[in-house]
Amino acid sequence: MFKINEEYLKLPGSYLFSTVARKQREFEAAHPDKKVIRLSIGDVTQPLVPAVIDALKKATEEMAHKETFRGYAPDLGYDFLREAICKNDFHARGVQMDTDEIFVSDGAKSDCGNIGDIFSVDNRVAVCDPVYPVYVDTNAMAGRAGNYDAFTEKWTNLIYMPCMQENGFAPELPKEEPDIIYLCFPNNPTGATVTKAQLQTWVDYALRIGAVIIYDAAYEAYISEDDVPHSIYECDGAKACAIEMRSFSKCAGFTGVRLGYTVVPKELMQDGVSLNALWARRHGTKFNGAPYIIQRAGEAVYTPEGKRQTREQIAYYMNNARIIREGLAKAGYSVSGGINAPYIWMKTPDGLTSWEFFDRLLEEANVVGTPGSGFGPSGEGYLRLTAFGTLENTLEAIERISKM
């Protein structure tokens, strides 16, 4: 008789964003006359930029002719894209990187979830609290998180690093020693960042204790301040202890077309084993490559027009972030984030829990946010709003919330 992976049975409820979407659907069904504004999941609303659309059209046309048609993509990614990534995302920032350290994928979410495949289930994992739920849930699925304690709302084997107002929403080195450390900067959900010196502390710590850092840099394109690192490899020694993930979803609006990449440096070794080789083995076995036309679209992001157009798009979203931040602050809310990230982290008023405030916002302002407690126990008492809406909806949402 077959057995299921019982670790799945330990997962509480459904995936955070599925629960939020279900609540929105139920509200809309009950109130068909109301216009609900969604500022919950970080999904983009602006169309792909012209340079990307042109590349998609051209690549699609190539697929229509036997001379230029392509079948399976190379499983680690086409060289044209890996070279563009190396040159623009790393060499341009003074970071040495080889194309065979870049693994192209269908998005950072899959990579975040899959990276655990190359690590033993015995590793102790440290996560920020609050945190992007994919890191926690996928480690739980793999059996690395222990049991879920409904009282503390924590997994028994995970090491939680609280990110609170008191520490500027930046994690401190944990008291218990982890083997794997997940970091995400600019941060989802709080929008906080760390300086290069702060990140160097983490790299030094990981090197000292023999831990690996899984660094999620999905929001790096939103950095506006100097001294905020765009890549962990800007820190000395990071190539010997860190894996970095990047996404085209947020920097170029690819949420619906899917493209991302993971960097596994060749210097990253454990017991004489190269993690680069392990990830190549895993990727080659379980993944058949991101589609050719999408990789061509990704390449177009790095052209001069692509860069200019995506920069304009990011500025559009960051203007929304400013409107949310300033509008909520003016209405008396305590807010942070939204300066180097498209997320605004607001304190709930009147001592409401995150879900109570979520319900109130939905019912009274018809605006959907994401409850902070869904990202971890230290997110209780907060709500996350995204800047990825349209300008019109963002203005309307803030006006409605201000009137509440």
Cβ-based nearer residue to ligand MLT, 193 or 200: 193
User: Taking CB under 6 A as the rule, does residue 379 contact ligand MLT?
Assistant: no
Paired tokens of 323: 């409107």
Fill in the per-residue mask, 165 to 204: x = in contact with ligand MLT (CB under 6 A), - = not in contact.
-----------------------x----------------
Angstrom distances, CA of residue 48 to CA of 56, 173, 252, 311, 343 = 10, 40, 7, 12, 21
The least distance separating ligand MLT from the CB of residue 13, rounded to whole angstroms, comes to 17
Among the listed residues 152, 160, 137, 133, the one whose alpha carbon sits nearest the alpha carbon of residue 11: 137
Binding-residue total with ligand MLT (CB under 6 A)? 6
User: Taking CB under 6 A as the rule, does residue 258 contact ligand MLT?
Assistant: no
User: Taking CB under 6 A as the rule, does residue 109 contact ligand MLT?
Assistant: yes
Task: By CB under 6 A, name the one of 11, 21, 36, 41 that touches ligand MLT.
Answer: 41
The least distance separating ligand MLT from the CB of residue 331, rounded to whole angstroms, comes to 23
Q: Which stretch binds ligand MLT (CB under 6 A): 40-48, 54-62, 151-159, 199-207?
A: 40-48
Q: What is the dihedral of CA 221, 225, 231, 232, to 10 degrees?
A: -150
- 374 backbone dihedrals φ, ψ, rounded to 5°: -65, -15
User: Taking CB under 6 A as the rule, does residue 38 contact ligand MLT?
Assistant: no
Among the listed residues 33, 400, 57, 379, the one whose alpha carbon sits nearest the alpha carbon of residue 192: 379
The least distance separating ligand MLT from the CB of residue 245, rounded to whole angstroms, comes to 11
Determine the angle formed by the axes of helices 50-62 and 292-301, rounding to 10 degrees: 150
The least distance separating ligand MLT from the CB of residue 40, rounded to whole angstroms, comes to 7
User: Taking CB under 6 A as the rule, does residue 21 contact ligand MLT?
Assistant: no
Q: Which of residues 127-156 bind ligand MLT (CB under 6 A)?
A: 132
248: alpha, beta or left? (left if phi > 0; alpha if psi -120 to 50): alpha
Is the bond preceding 265 in cis, omega lying within 30 degrees of 0? Answer: no
Distance CA 166, CA 50 (A): 44
Cβ-based nearer residue to ligand MLT, 16 or 73: 16
User: Taking CB under 6 A as the rule, does residue 389 contact ligand MLT?
Assistant: no
Q: Which residues bind ligand MLT (CB under 6 A)?
A: 41-43, 109, 132, 188
